[in-house]
């Protein structure tokens, strides 16, 4: 049985939701409505020879759609983005949230609010109550009058007792931002700051940096203002206990990446942080920040490539989408640099990246799993694409098998859109001047499809270039 479904535009608020003859003028559309046909097929169980063949299939083809954004639409999208940001912020404290209604146990809900606020306060520098009172005082003092930026800094400084005016001057009256270097020397933490420049040059400038750090646990949290070019702090005096040889005595600077600066660790501290990353003791924000800082420093020739590779190896069992996506991106960048700088070692870098990503690839597999998150669905395509680009033989073999099944049956469930780019990359990896079958098949697909998204997937794999 097959039926054709024609999509129609419905007027909001019409009785019984009847379709409208014309486009509703009361709404602002970002995606202009389109009318297309969808084919739905249903087979009786007696008609199916293979138990894996689906009983129901639906095919929807959409042409390019027009996107337009009005002033009201833009405002609505900004509100939506703010709502998503709020949701992500609340997600951090979801494990504190009571499972009962407020009326049933109001005490638990007050406890939830307190624990969420207290956790946030632990990872940010500053005195919330003092700043709030200072801001209220500033607004009252300058009501119905003009004020300068320095007036706000002065009000915050008066209420908090911190050198706000001097601090903000270092951040607003000079370009760039700092990199804070930290090393351990005889139970002392030695801090040093300099301007971070991606080109690797020695920069000038000095900032008052709000340092936040935790020691072995997020419960042991300290902060202070780093106001000079270099500074030494006694570990026991600052953190309450000495640094031991135990890997559990790690120190994370810039907790939850709340400060706008990069951090460079010495080898001892970096090794302890690798342990915390492997054990997932650190939050996703901190795991992302350490990797991002190390790559940026390596790219600026302020950190060795060996240090970066050692750190990347600690992310073998990473499962967070944001962190793993960044790891994939950095792996590709390292490979591209190696191809130009040290081509003799390119195969080594590819194998290293394969080893780092293989665990996640095996965890996700090729096919969607019941109940998996949207992040896992996105990661599957990214990881398989990277493994194909790195020339992983098992990935190339499986991709070839699925591609062949797709050529034979365009409706096969073996090649959903999420992993098609990975398969197309794999096909082109094995295409040569003497073996053009994969290339010719992709070219045929490109010419046959009327979907712009599918054309983009194929063109993105440099179909016009074939290996010698």
Euclidean distance between CA atoms 63 and 337, whole angstroms: 38
Q: How far apart are CA 344 and CA 433, in angstroms?
A: 24
* Phi (first) and psi of residue 145, to 5 degrees: -150, 170
CB 404 within 8 A of CB 412: no
- Give me the residues paired with residue 10 across strands: 19
Q: Is residue 23 part of a domain?
A: yes
Position 208 scores a pLDDT of 92
Which element (helix H / strand E) includes 3? strand 2-6
How many domains does one find in the chain?
A: 3
Paired tokens of 452: 């712009």
Label residue 312 by pLDDT band (50, 70, 90): very high
> Residue 233's beta-bridge partner residues?
189
Decide if 22 is inside a domain. yes
**pLDDT the model gives residue 295:** 95
Q: What is the DSSP letter of 178?
A: E
How many Cβ atoms sit within 10 Å of the Cβ of residue 390? Answer: 21
**Both tokens assigned to 71:** 């002033």
| Shared domain check, 257 and 362 | no
pLDDT value at residue 468 = 37
Q: Among the listed ranges 2-11, 137-146, 346-355, 406-415, which one has the minimum average pLDDT value? A: 2-11
DSSP string, 224-238: EEE-SSEEEEEHHHH
What's the rounded Cα separation, in Å, for the pair 378 and 356? Answer: 18
**Mean pLDDT, to the nearest integer, of 424-436?**
86
Structure tokens at 135: 């801001």
* 411 and 363 fall within a common domain: yes
- Same domain, residue pair 54 and 183: no
pLDDT tens-place string over residues 152-207: 888 888 888 888 888 888 988 888 899 999 999 988 999 999 999 888 887 788 99
Higher pLDDT, 80 or 206: 206
Question: Which CATH number goes with the domain that contains 444?
Answer: 1.25.50.20
Instruction: Note whether 137 and 154 are within 8 A (CB).
Output: no
Q: Is the pLDDT confidence value at 35 over 70?
A: no
The residue among 362 and 54 whose pLDDT is bigger is 362
pLDDT tens, residue by residue, 53-70: 777 777 776 665 556 666
Residues 222 and 341 in one domain: no
DSSP assignment letter at 85: H
Inform me whether the pLDDT recorded for 227 exceeds 80: yes
274 and 336 housed in the same domain? no
CATH code, 265: 2.60.40.1910
Checking DSSP bridges between strand 262-265 and strand 178-184, what pairing results, if any? parallel
Helices (H), 409-466: 420-429, 437-448, 452-459
Q: Do residues 252 and 360 share a domain?
A: no
Cβ atoms of 331 and 386 within 8 Å: the answer is yes
C-beta separation of 182 from 264 below 8 A: yes
Mean pLDDT of the 362-387 span: 91
- 320-340, pLDDT tens digit by residue? 999 999 999 999 999 888 888
Q: Are residues 272 and 328 in the same domain?
A: no
Give the model's pLDDT for residue 466.
Answer: 43
Share of the chain above pLDDT 90, in %: 37
Residues 15 and 75 in one domain: yes
Which residue bears the tokens 């026991």?
236
Give residue 364's pLDDT. Answer: 93
CB contact at 8 A, 207 and 193 = yes
433 strand-pairing partners = none
In 353-413, the DSSP E strands lie at none
**CB-based contacts of 224: which residues, under 8 Å, 6+ apart?**
211, 233, 238
Same domain? 270 vs 348? no
Top pLDDT among 8 and 341 is at 341
- Pair 459, 325 in one domain: yes
From CA 214, how far away is CA 210, in angstroms rounded?
Answer: 14
Structural domain for 187, as ranges: 174-282
Res 351 pLDDT > 80: yes
In angstroms, the CA 318 to CA 276 distance is: 12
Residues 327 and 246 in one domain: no
Number of residues assigned to the chain: 468
Strands 37-42 and 56-60: antiparallel
Q: What is the mean pLDDT of the chain?
A: 82
What pLDDT score was predicted for residue 106? Answer: 80
Question: What is the mean predicted confidence (pLDDT) over 138-148?
Answer: 87
Of the given ranges (31-45, 205-219, 279-293, 383-397), which has the lowest mean pLDDT? 31-45
> If you average pLDDT over residues 133-144, what whole number do you get?
86
What distance separates the 2 farthest-apart alpha carbons in the chain? 82
For residue 26, the model assigns a pLDDT of: 53
What pLDDT sits at residue 180? 95
110 pLDDT higher than 80: no
């Amino acid at each position: 049985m097959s039926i054709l479904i024609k999509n129609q535009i419905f007027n909001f608020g019409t009785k019984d939701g009847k379709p409208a003859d014309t486009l509703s003028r009361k709404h602002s559309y970002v995606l202009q409505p389109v009318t297309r046909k969808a084919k739905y097929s249903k087979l009786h169980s007696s008609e199916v020879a293979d138990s894996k063949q689906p009983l129901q299939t639906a095919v929807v083809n959409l042409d390019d759609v027009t996107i337009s954004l009005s002033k009201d639409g833009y405002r609505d999208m900004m509100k939506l983005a703010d709502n998503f940001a709020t949701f992500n912020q609340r997600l951090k404290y979801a494990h504190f949230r009571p499972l009962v209604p407020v009326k049933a146990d109001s005490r638990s809900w007050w406890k939830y609010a307190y624990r969420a606020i207290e956790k946030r306060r632990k990872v940010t520098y500053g005195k919330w109550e003092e700043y709030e009172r200072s801001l209220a005082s500033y607004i009252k003092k300058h009501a119905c009058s003009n004020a300068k930026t320095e007036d706000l800094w002065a009000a915050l400084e008066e209420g908090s007792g911190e050198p706000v005016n001097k601090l903000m001057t270092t951040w607003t009256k000079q370009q760039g931002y700092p990199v804070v270097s930290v090393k351990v020397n005889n139970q002392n933490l030695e801090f040093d700051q300099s301007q971070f420049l991606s080109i690797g040059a020695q920069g000038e400038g000095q900032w008052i940096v709000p340092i936040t750090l935790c020691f072995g646990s997020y419960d042991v949290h300290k902060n202070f203002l780093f106001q000079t070019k270099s500074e030494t702090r006694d570990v026991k005096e600052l953190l309450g206990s000495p640094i031991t040889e135990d890997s559990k005595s790690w120190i994370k600077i810039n907790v939850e990446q709340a400060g706008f600066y990069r951090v460079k660790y010495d080898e001892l501290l970096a090794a302890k942080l690798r342990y915390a990353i492997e054990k997932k003791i650190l939050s996703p924000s901190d795991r992302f920040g350490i990797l991002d800082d190390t790559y940026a420093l390596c790219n600026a020739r302020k950190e060795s490539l060996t240090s970066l590779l050692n750190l990347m190896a600690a992310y073998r069992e990473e499962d967070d989408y944001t962190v793993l996506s960044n790891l994939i991106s950095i792996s590709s960048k390292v490979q591209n640099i190696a191809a130009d700088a040290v081509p003799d070692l390119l195969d080594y870098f590819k194998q290293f990246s394969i080893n780092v990503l293989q665990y996640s690839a095996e965890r996700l597999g090729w096919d969607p799993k019941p109940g998996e998150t949207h992040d896992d669905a996105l990661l599957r395509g990214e990881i398989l694409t990277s493994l194909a680009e790195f020339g992983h033989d098992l990935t190339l073999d499986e991709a070839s098998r699925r591609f062949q099944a797709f050529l034979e049956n365009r409706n096969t469930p073996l090649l959903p859109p999420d992993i098609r780019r990975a398969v197309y990359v794999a096909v082109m990896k094995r295409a040569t001047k003497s073996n053009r079958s994969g290339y010719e098949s992709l070219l045929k697909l490109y010419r046959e499809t009327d979907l712009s998204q599918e054309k983009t997937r194929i063109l993105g794999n440099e179909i016009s270039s074939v290996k010698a």
